[in-house]
Amino acid sequence: MKKYLNISEVSELLDIKEYIIRYWDSIDPKTNKLRVEGISTKSKKGTRYFNKENIIKLKKMKAFVYENGKHNNSLRLAHRLVSMSYKNKKPEYSSKNITYIDNPENAKKINQILKKMRIVVKLNNNY
């Protein structure tokens, strides 16, 4: 594998549309901060390149945002979960459960939030 991949190579590799990767890697006009930090390396001209660490983070983002093939609307929650795993907390997750090895209370809180989010999304989809 090359040291850096371009956005089209990463898009194909991870099966994520390029515009979604660009959105995640763009600046939120409300906060003037990156929506998700650390998912690309930019050249001086602004071209996005992705190393192994960036690709791992994108894979985790995709897993959280598109859990069970369904789109979860909280990019912020997904980013927080991925960021937590980068602070030496390695999450183990399945389709219905997220558990943190070092703190079971985190898993309980996160599962409660996800359950509420699923209910809200389901209600919105019914209208």
pLDDT attached to residue 22: 92
CB–CB of 26/40 below 8 Å?
Answer: no
Reported pTM: 0.57
pLDDT digits (tens, 9 = 90+) for 57-69: 898 888 877 776 6
CB 68: neighbour CB atoms within 10 A?
Answer: 9
The CATH number assigned to the domain with range 5-126 reads 1.10.1660
What residues does each domain of the chain span? Answer: 5-126
pLDDT attached to residue 27: 86
Element (H, E) at 94: none
- Three-state SS for 30? coil
For the chain, which residues score pLDDT lower than 70?
Answer: 1, 68-104, 106-107, 122-127
List, edge to edge, every strand of the sheet that includes 41-42.
5-6, 48-50, 41-42
